[in-house]
Amino acid sequence: MTEDKEEMSSPLETIPESDYIHVAVNTFGVTSAERKNPILKTVYLNTCVGLVLYDADVKVAGLAHISPTSNRVISGHIESMINVMRKYGFDTNHQIDTHLVGGWEDVSSHIPDMYIADTSIEDITSQLDKIVGKGRFRVRTIEKTKQVPQDIAFDSRNGKLIHLLNAKRPKMGAVGTLKALVSPPKGAWLTPDERTLR
């Protein structure tokens, strides 16, 4: 893992709904700059971590919303997302930009008797080292949340991470909500948003 000291611009702005692909909890989405919907979005990152992988050479991006879970499941999220991204030119031999947002670790002191699995940003970067390879990805953003959930989007056209104000949170049916809250045994579910690459 390498870390880029230059700060990535993260403007607060509103993204037109027609331009983004929504990524629900425990799912991932993939898009590219040439697509009609080049922006990936996820909301309510608190104890969960939003992971963005971006290959600037081909302008292909993936966003995973990973809930607190085991390293085995984290690995499955990353591998499943990369497998889809490779179909569209993503190459781990390129320099891969990485953004991580979320991973509030102090939740138990604010919500008594609540157990949260120990998943951290460090766990995810450790799995990236194993899957992508040490030194092959550049960390552009690490932002740990503190009580206030974060809503983010990523634009594959210019490689920018965007913090959203007043982001709309899509309603899910009972089955969709239950499925999203239960971590898959291995791998990860592709987001139900039909506009994602698959």
pLDDT attached to residue 165:
76
**Is the CATH number 3.30.1200.10 carried by domain 2-183?**
no
Task: Kindly indicate the confidence band of residue 119, based on its pLDDT and cuts at 50, 70 and 90.
Answer: low
Angle 46-136-19 from CA coordinates, rounded to 5°: 50
Domain ranges of the chain: 2-183
Higher local confidence (pLDDT), 175 or 13? 13
Tens digit of each residue's pLDDT (9 = 90 or more) over 16-71: 777 789 998 889 999 999 999 999 999 988 888 999 999 999 999 999 998 877 77
Q: Which two tokens stand for residue 88?
A: 């569209």
pLDDT attached to residue 16:
74
Closest CA to 64 of 126, 112, 121, 7: 121
Strand order in the sheet with 2-3: 2-3, 137-144, 96-102, 49-55, 60-66, 27-32, 189-190
Tens digit of each residue's pLDDT (9 = 90 or more) over 146-179: 777 889 999 999 999 998 876 666 555 544 545 5
Counting beta carbons within 10 angstroms of the beta carbon of residue 184, is it exposed (0 to 12), middle (13 to 18) or buried (19 or more)? middle
pLDDT attached to residue 170:
59
Q: Looking at the predicted structure, is the pLDDT value of residue 9 above 50?
A: no
Question: What phi and psi, each to the nearest 5 degrees, are found at residue 8?
Answer: -80, 135
pTM exceeding the 0.85 threshold for the entire prediction: no
